[in-house]
Amino acid sequence: MNPFMEALPPEVDTKLKRLKPSKEQVRFQVATDFVSDRAFGDRWLIATDRQLLFIPTVGADGTVEVPLTAVREVRTEELVGGGRLTVERKVGEPVYLHYSSSLAPKFVEVAEGIQQLSKGQPLELPTEIERTRCEKCGSLLAEKNGRCISCTKKRDTLWRILSYVRPYYFQLILVFLITTAAAAIDLLPPLITEHIIDDVLTPKANFGLLVWFVLALLGIRLLMWFAQVGRTAISSWLGFRAAEDIRAELYRVLQFTPLRFYDKRKVGSLISRMTNDADLLEEYMTFDLPFILSNALLLLGILGMLLHKSWILTIYVLLPVPAIVLGGALIWNRMERYWRRWSIKWGRFSAHLNESITGIRLVKAFAQEKREGIRFSQRNDELRQVSVSADRAWFVFFTVTNFLMSFGVFFVWYFGGRQILGGDLTLGQLTAFISYLWMFYRPLKWFGDYYNFMIHAYAGAERIFEVMDTPTEPFDAPDAISMPEIEGRVSFRDISFGYDPGKPVLRGIDLEVAPGEMIGLVGKSGVGKSTFINLICRFYDVNRGRLEVDGTDIRDLRLEDLRSQIGMVHQEPTLFNVTIAENIRYGKPDAPFDEVIRAAIAAEAHEFIVAKPDGYDTKVGEHGGKLSGGEKQRIAIARAILHDPKILILDEATSSLDTPTEKKIQIAIARLVKGRTTFAIAHRLSTLRNADRLVVLDDGKIAEVGSHAELMTRRGIFYGLVHTQQETTAVMAVGGGKEGSEDDSDEDDE
């Protein structure tokens, strides 16, 4: 089903037939939920191969016709609580179409589609759009394209949880057998008590029989203890192992999930799933599931014994049960909503905590401790409020349940006492019946105690499964083309791309890069240089066009083959809290130590490494916090050198280095890039002097291509950037412009 060909209401269809010539073909038709920026209502946007039609559902007024040839620009804008599609005409006022936030993904794609039609390009709209509401019930989704928790059947969630226990079938069968035996043994003490009262205490005789009965009770208690210990040990092993498998699968999914997934989610919220939600699920599988099985079997056994003893009294015992079950069914959805909100609030709380601690230097630098404390208190208060609401609702249900259960005892004493007085029942039988009654209520009370926690665990499980169901990158695509050795030829063929499809960052990129060629990417901030790099690494797929490596579409290559032959040095290098040697080896874990040293020497890092007390075994700290910016960058360069990639990416690789070290690094990089296809980004334009070609990006397009000398001679955009940078450096230099201009003084000679 095409999501951009929505069914027209009869009145709009009638208007369309009157406005659209019969030969015109409708390309897409979509409805918005605002008729203006302040009024809800339906308004339709219909695009044909010649014009755009804006048609309100009610009334003829407000219908607007815009020929595609008159469209100058189309864009979407985010507003408070919604958004706006703007169609600017070459002549006349723009046309606006407002929509709520839930329809934003659809109209982002619509904007791109109008751009394509207005430029005479083939219409390419996705077959699916991001869902913000459930298609079945209309509820807002916690995550875009996520699972609707309201429509998720609890039975399905339970079976999915149990699927992680199923592989350990031997231990599972053993737990079931021990639990069944324990439930059967647990039914014996009331029977023995009945015989003690009726056969020993009431006739006041047969002391020897009393001894045997007491020994039997002691033996049963010992058997129960051994069964409980064995069941707990095995079920705990099962629960912890299943929880370990869930965490491992969740981590694997997070590792192989596309970057688009992380663009739309906060890290703290994802960590909350791995920690808080996984802990809830672990406790549920370790402790609750075994007790559910145990008490379910015990309930069945007790019910059978009660019916055997007296079916009339059993009916009185069961009188409160329907009310308890009905109350549990009613409270389930309410409590689930509370705990779902609790999980969301906890995720936001964790996200804020992660941001504030990670950015603690910035907080202190701007003296914003009090402000962050206020923000933290707000998140903490939100978490407290939803927790109090949930506990209050649960407390009311729990107390009412206990009150209802007490009625069964009153009925049994009254009607059972009458049967004893009438000679229809013995005192031992009534005592045994009451014992079974309390045993019957004990599992019900347990279900009440853990019902709340079970709902809590289910909410956490569904949040975990929501992440697990996210489509991962196609690392194991069976039809992917294997290319273990690439030459490094990279071809951009009419590529367009935007993180938000309605707002392209790169447009119409055509570029052929030969193997071993060094390309410098130049342009103002935000023109798409980093996006250019992201596409080469296939962190994102192009919206239109083809990106080829050695003549093969990058989308058809095995991801592992592609990325294993790409080396990167970022402006802010990422280091792990391990030794310097392990960080250098990250791209080649099995590299001998002498290769690590050679890579460090080539990156001008060996000298400062050996000067440290532990040398190459020095722990770098979290995010490399024990190293200076220049030291971190040189380790990143050494890591890339050791990796020996076919395609090398340098993203401000020398930005954190002082001038003497930078000159050494330039020599090292000059050796490194030989024989490798290199893409380099640098704001200090003088560092790109040795590039074979410079590609100047402007407004998402390639504006200029040529060598450093050619572009300076051309006196275009690149020439302007160079001289603007020289003037800025001169103004910022200590003592005026003299020293600051020396760095790039040779630029004027070009």
Q: Quick check: is 406 in a domain?
A: yes
Q: Please, which residues bridge with residue 99 across strands? A: 83
Encode pLDDT of 375-431 as tens digits: 888 888 888 888 888 777 777 777 777 776 666 777 777 777 877 777 777 888 788
Query: Are residues 113 and 181 part of one domain?
Result: no
DSSP-derived 3-state class of residue 586: coil
Q: Which amino acid is at 511?
A: L
Query: Are residues 333 and 236 part of one domain?
Result: yes
Query: Are residues 230 and 105 part of one domain?
Result: no
55, 58, 85 from 48: Cα distances, Å = 13, 21, 18
265, 652, 683 from 571: Cα distances, Å = 23, 5, 11
Asked whether 650 and 569 are in contact (CB, 8 A), the reply is: yes
CATH of the domain at 365: 1.20.1560.10
Query: Are residues 88 and 21 part of one domain?
Result: yes
Encode pLDDT of 346-382 as tens digits: 777 877 777 777 777 777 777 778 888 888 888 888 8
Average pLDDT over residues 276-282: 82
Structure tokens of 304? Answer: 């059978």
Average pLDDT over residues 155-173: 85
CATH of the domain at 56: 2.30.29.30
Q: Quick check: is 695 in a domain?
A: no
Q: Quick check: is 748 in a domain?
A: no
Encode pLDDT of 22-33 as tens digits: 778 889 999 988
Asked whether 575 and 499 are in contact (CB, 8 A), the reply is: no
Confidence band, pLDDT 50/70/90 cuts, at residue 127 = low
Asked whether 544 and 494 are in contact (CB, 8 A), the reply is: yes
Q: Quick check: is 534 in a domain?
A: no
Distance CA 325, CA 344 (A): 29
Q: Quick check: is 74 in a domain?
A: yes
Query: Are residues 434 and 309 part of one domain?
Result: yes
Distance CA 299, CA 639 (A): 63
Distance of CA 657 to the CA centre of its chain: 36
Residue 490 pLDDT exceeds 90: yes
67, 90, 91, 92, 121 from 70: Cα distances, Å = 5, 5, 7, 9, 15
CATH of the domain at 590: 3.40.50.300
Among 563, 556, 572, 510, smallest CA distance to 537 is for: 563
Q: Quick check: is 733 in a domain?
A: no
Query: Are residues 239 and 96 part of one domain?
Result: no
- Bridge-based pairing of strands 40-48 and 26-34 is antiparallel
Residue where a domain terminates, one of 468, 498, 515: 468
Confidence band, pLDDT 50/70/90 cuts, at residue 240 = confident
Asked whether 83 and 104 are in contact (CB, 8 A), the reply is: yes
Query: Are residues 165 and 108 part of one domain?
Result: no
Residue where a domain terminates, one of 621, 644, 667: 644
Q: Quick check: is 605 in a domain?
A: yes
Q: Which residue has the higher pLDDT, 473 or 441?
A: 473
State the helix-helix crossing angle for 289-309 and 427-468, rounded to 10 degrees: 150
Structural domain count of the chain: 3
Q: Who contacts 46 (Cβ-Cβ below 8 Å, separation ≥6)?
A: 16, 20, 26, 28, 29, 52, 53, 55
Q: Quick check: is 281 in a domain?
A: yes
Task: Centre a 10 Å sphere on the Cβ of residue 614 and count the other Cβ atoms it contains.
Answer: 10
Show the 3-state SS of 154-184.
Answer: HHHHHHHHHCCCCCCHHHHHHHHHHHHHHHH
Query: Are residues 421 and 346 part of one domain?
Result: yes
DSSP-derived 3-state class of residue 29: strand
Structure tokens of 550? Answer: 């050695």
Domain residue limits at 595: 573-644
Confidence band, pLDDT 50/70/90 cuts, at residue 232 = confident
Residue 594 pLDDT exceeds 80: yes
Average pLDDT over residues 271-294: 80
Encode pLDDT of 83-116 as tens digits: 899 999 998 889 999 888 878 888 888 888 898 8
Query: Are residues 322 and 198 part of one domain?
Result: yes
| DSSP string for 410-445 | HHHHHHHHHHHHTTSS-HHHHHHHHHHHHHHHHHHH
Whole-number pLDDT of residue 739: 41
Query: Are residues 172 and 56 part of one domain?
Result: no
Whole-number pLDDT of residue 582: 92
Residue where a domain terminates, one of 597, 622, 644: 644
Query: Are residues 430 and 339 part of one domain?
Result: yes
Query: Are residues 237 and 185 part of one domain?
Result: yes
